């Protein structure tokens, strides 16, 4: 009888596939925390509710370098919704940050004046709860919402204005001169004042929902599935990066952290060359590689995430379930099952909320 021998290269490949597949075969059982345990674990991982009390929220909103006042907030809101800040007066801040749609525009990439798409095909991050983040933009290049507010106004493919043009346009408007004088005192309207006013308004865009009520002690605020999902979110390590009151936005992290041999084997049969060239588990439309082109990205804010599809920096992933699967596999190294994904999505739905009145 003729013996069947495998080629050494084939044997090596099989061994490597088995080794790289072990994390998905050998998994620890899920830990389901009770209500008290969930709240204790949340507190331990710096997950806290947006304050219910308006005075406490005000403390959370404040920026010592840009003290809030009702007049400044109203001025910022007026500017946020006014097309005066765009070159051709066709778009405003709210064009890409629709408050009723999760604080973004629900498109893969932002569209500016004259129908221009972002050259890096960047997906608009949410403005809701953005003031709680420690950095702004996908690469974290702005330190706060005041600094961020000046970016889209100046970008030629977004609003297309220069600071000088903004100042000239607003200084020629008697109504704006009067409003700015009430807020900042007598003197010319400057671009810095514009940024501070818009930033002040954006600081009030904090949302509260079922998640906050649960953390505050309402056991019935979220479903059993959401509680299982929250247990997974915390015990599997998601909350290591998606932390803080905003559930994200507190750090800049590498993505993806992991790659698998199966990815490279799969690419041998992938007809789409764009995917072969991508360092991500999806096509990298736009070619953006994060901070310093090192695949370092600001961790997205997960509040209202169910309303901000599509996902990732270039909006390539349309479904939240797929985004959760990708993150479980490539960031925490433990690809979730369909049941686990469904539970995590149930938890993420509890992060939906309405802007708390100021």
Structure tokens at 118: 């972002």
Structure tokens at 19: 């080794």
Cβ contact 210:222 at 8 Å: yes
Please state the separation of Cα 349 from the chain's center in Å: 15
CA distances to 7, 8, 11, 18, 153 from 4, in Å = 10, 13, 13, 21, 69
- Between strands 252-254 and 354-355, the pairing is unpaired
Q: From CA 204, how far away is CA 61, in angstroms rounded?
A: 7
- Token pair 């950095």 is at which residue? 135
Contacts of 203 (CB under 8 A, 6+ apart): 61, 62, 63, 68, 131, 145
Cβ contact 226:283 at 8 Å: no
Q: What are phi and psi of 298, to 5 degrees?
A: -65, 130
Q: Which of the following is catalytic: 146, 158, 202, 316?
A: 158
Q: From CA 17, how far away is CA 20, in angstroms rounded?
A: 5
Residue closest to 182 by CA, chosen among 18, 70, 270:
70
Q: From CA 156, how far away is CA 94, in angstroms rounded?
A: 17
Cβ contact 351:303 at 8 Å: yes
Cβ contact 152:92 at 8 Å: no
β-strand partners of 355: 207
Active site residue 158: yes
Active-site residues, by number, are 158
């Amino acid at each position: 009888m003729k013996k069947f021998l495998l080629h050494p290269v084939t044997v090596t490949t099989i061994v490597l596939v088995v080794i790289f597949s072990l994390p998905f075969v050998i998994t620890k059982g899920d830990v389901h925390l009770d209500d008290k345990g969930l709240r204790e674990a949340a507190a331990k991982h710096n997950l806290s509710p947006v304050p219910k009390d308006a005075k406490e929220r005000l403390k959370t909103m404040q920026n010592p370098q840009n003290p809030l006042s009702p007049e400044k907030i109203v001025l910022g809101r007026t500017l946020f919704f006014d097309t005066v800040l765009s070159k051709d007066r066709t778009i405003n801040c709210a064009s890409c940050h629709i408050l009723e749609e999760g604080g973004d525009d629900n498109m893969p990439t932002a569209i500016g004046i004259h129908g221009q798409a972002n050259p890096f095909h960047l997906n608009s991050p949410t403005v809701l709860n953005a003031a709680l983040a420690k950095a702004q933009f996908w690469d974290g290049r702005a330190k706060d919402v005041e600094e961020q507010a000046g970016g889209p106004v100046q970008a030629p493919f977004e609003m297309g204005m220069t600071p000088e043009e903004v100042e000239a346009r607003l200084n020629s408007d008697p109504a704006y001169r009067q409003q700015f004088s009430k807020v900042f005192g007598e003197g010319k309207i400057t671009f810095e004042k514009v940024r501070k006013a818009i930033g002040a308004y954006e600081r009030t865009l904090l949302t509260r929902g079922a998640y906050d009520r649960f953390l505050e002690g309402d056991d019935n605020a979220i479903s059993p599935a959401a509680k299982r999902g929250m247990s997974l979110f915390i015990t599997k390590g998601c909350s290591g990066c998606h932390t803080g009151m905003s559930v994200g936005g507190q750090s800049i992290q590498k993505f993806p952290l992991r790659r698998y041999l199966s990815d490279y084997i799969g690419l041998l049969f992938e007809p789409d060359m764009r995917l072969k060239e991508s360092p991500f588990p999806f096509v990298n439309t736009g070619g953006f590689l994060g901070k310093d082109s090192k695949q370092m990205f600001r961790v997205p804010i997960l509040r209202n995430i169910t309303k901000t599809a599509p996902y990732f920096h270039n909006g390539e992933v349309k479904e939240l379930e797929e985004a959760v699967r990708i993150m479980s596999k490539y960031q925490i190294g433990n690809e979730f099952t369909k049941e686990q994904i469904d539970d995590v999505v149930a938890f993420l739905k509890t992060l939906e909320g309405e802007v708390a009145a100021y």
